[in-house]
Structure 1
């Protein structure tokens, strides 16, 4: 397969106090969220100076990908664009087009199947192609969801082992795997054949089992959710992590594993490191939060392996996966049919 650019596609976040409310309005556009609710969420960002860590984490990931590509002798530049803040996807597309790039392979920093993690990014790419006028000259192809790729799973295995070792003197330790809650209807739509929680829940449960198996632990574990928002009358995936911690019986130590996230962005720092750890303390439970993959060498190498699947057209039978659900299928290209397109010089 022929690609001449890589697009690191992410959520984005504010980089100063003046950015917080405009950013949150971008995130909630069309959802009718009142501004007073946005101010409540803004507190999380203002606590950290109005700066979300996600942008710096993406800069670090971009640099790590560039270094790994260079180490392997793969000469393809990496661009970066966001859904909700600078640099936007439109900025990235204009930049790579000006550089003469036409066939883009996208890494989306979302490992699982859901509307916000898959379909919404396809909608974002379509909108960016239309807004830039590049639909007939640029093609974007996204790599598959990587929830059970060894590069994503291995850092969590390492983290769980280290956390359990640090709590080895505890009498009863529980492992909580946590991800972002979504409306139950949206979860079901992600793959109705998997039941009420859809592919979204099934993928997380399968990954949790794989991590515990590879970590060599028989400690009790569960899947919980965080960061619920929206209309309180709308059913969302449960239980919330704080409710689940409060209901633990006979547990004196807890390992929190944020398997829904690729980096330590705001919802990890606030919802887990602030709220969930405080809930554990209030209930007399020692708790350790496992790191997200971030720029762990295994994760970075795994992302480049996933790029290599498309570059080399690797058949499904040879694609690594840690669960029976994988490897997840590829996505169709969006934008130009490049058969007759010549890149700019």
Structure 2
């Protein structure tokens, strides 16, 4: 270790641990300061120059094809995932069949929004900018290295994990990684599926299948940020976007504009099993309306239903069509469960709902997505900072299984990430 490195190490040890309340003094809270453009972070190893770092910050999300050529593989993985789209015993047959039939149509949709999903661009930008803030407000866990792990598109979870190992995390070197879900509201179909996949590849690359040990020494120490539906920074970012859109209406009409919060729907079989997602989405909506002082009438609706089975409603498209037919043509659609633009906002809402179901009425608008919003990125950093200081492996809520859960994989994943509290509800036979 060089003299300069030793001095830096000693300096960080002497400095007092920064309290969470001091973070806003370093970076303006949910403020107007814009982050610089993302840069490629240099590789890190476990030759740490800080007390607890480096720390891998891994964003978990569904992902999306970056080009139309990737649509087929994306849909194949998506319809093969029984956590997201449960098709029963015929999943292995119906999944590939549905994905092949839908590929040409979905390719056309991605072509219409520019040839691919922007979700990778925004996820990598958000994670990188968050890590820059964390390096300032949490020097004891720095450097923070950004990673993205998508469930159905590149970079896939296994590729992310392989990169972690190449970068010096785990594989006998130890080190810490935080799995940070980018679904603010928890669902077994989204966050749960991503954690199942992460747990699977951890076992394959660092545990049973690779070493024969369940907990080999020098493996990555994982913790999880598994939900954050009412975090003040998230609520502030949504509220400001809504206020900006409402300002586009004449003042005499503004208070009568109906706010339609739209979230991805779930099959009713998942809802009836006890999935917490509907309640957590509703909590986000209510918190946003509290921040807006209930300035407008509002409703929560659901989008992106797939297949003939019953899904959670009312559907966003049906809701807009119904209101427009009744003469309520001032509507603001708010994507409340997404952290960036992707096919559900850019095509389903912007091109289908707003132009077809709304019949082109100019009073039907959409609030901006979070994307590169500095208020939102500051919120991500605050959430991560609080988690890093807490010492918790996950939230208390994550250890509790759905009332009707029968998945052994879910149980084992929760045992790994949540520890002994995961045994609160055993498997239903």
TM-score normalised to the size of structure 2?
A: 0.68
Match of 1:117 among 184, 190, 215: 190
Q: CA 1:141 to 1:132, structure 2 compared with 1: closer, same or farther past 3 Å?
A: same
2:388 to 311, 323, 326: 311
1:134 is displaced (CA, Å) by 4.7
Q: Give the structure 2 partner of residue 235 of structure 1.
A: 310
Residue of structure 1 equivalent to 2:63: 12
Judge conservation of contact 1:12–1:86 (CA < 8 Å) in 2: yes
Matched residue of 1:159: which SS?
Answer: helix
Segment drifting more, 81-90 vs 38-47: 38-47
Shift of 1:151: 1.8
Residue 5 of structure 1 aligns to a residue whose secondary structure is strand
Closer, same or farther in 2 for the Cα pair 1:64/1:113, shift >3 Å?
A: same
User: Who is 1:44 aligned against?
Assistant: 109
Structure 2 CA distance for aligned equivalents of residues 307 and 188 of structure 1: 32
Higher relative contact order (CA 8 A, sep 6+): 1
Checking the alignment, whether the CA contact within 8 Å between 1:113 and 1:190 is kept in structure 2 is: no
Greater alpha carbon shift after TM alignment, 242-251 vs 31-40: 31-40
SS at match of 2:247: helix
How far is 1:145 from its partner? 0.2
Deviation at 1:48, TM superposition (A): 3.3
Shift of 1:328: 7.0
**Paired residues, what number?**
317
- The CA distance in 2 between the partners of 1:209 and 1:279, in whole Å, is 29
Report the CA distance between 1:170 and its aligned residue. 2.8
Matched, 1:127 2:200: yes
Q: Partner residue of 2:240?
A: 158
**1:285–1:246 distance in 2 versus 1, CA, 3 Å:** farther
The question of whether the paired residues in 2 share the 8 Å contact of 1:90 and 1:131 is answered with: no
Q: 2:156 corresponds to which residue?
A: 88
Q: Which runs of 5+ in 1 are unaligned?
A: 192-198, 316-326, 338-345
Of 298, 302, 306 in structure 1, the residue corresponding to residue 379 of structure 2 is 302
1:247 to 297, 300, 322: 322
Conserved 8 A contact 1:13-1:85: yes
SS class of match (1:6): strand
| Aligned-partner Cα distance in 1 for 2:398–2:386 | 10
**C-alpha spacing 1:57/1:333, structure 2 compared with 1 (3 Å):** farther
- Aligned equivalents of 2:258 and 2:356: distance in 1? 15
Q: Does residue 177 in structure 1 map to residue 242 in structure 2?
A: no
* TM-aligned CA distance change 1:27 to 1:283, over 3 Å: same
Q: Which 4+ residue blocks in structure 1 deviate beyond 4 angstroms?
A: 330-333
Distance, in Å, in 2 between the alignment partners of 1:13 and 1:205 is 25
The structure number with the bigger radius of gyration is 2
Preserved CA contact (<8 Å) 1:256 1:290: yes
Q: Distance in 1 between the 2:356 and 2:187 partners?
A: 28
Provide the secondary structure at the position in 2 that maps to 1:96: helix
The C-alpha deviation readout for 1:52-108, integer Å capped at 9, x for no partner, is 111111121122112212332442222222211222212222222232223211111
Cα RMSD after superposing both structures:
2.6
**Contact 1:156–1:293, Cα closer than 8 Å, also in 2:** yes
Mapped partners of 2:125, 2:155: distance in 1 = 15
- Runs of 5+ unmatched residues, structure 2: 1-50, 82-90, 170-174, 209-215, 400-413, 420-429
Residues 18 and 285 (structure 1), Cα distance of their counterparts in 2 relative to 1, 3 Å cut:
closer
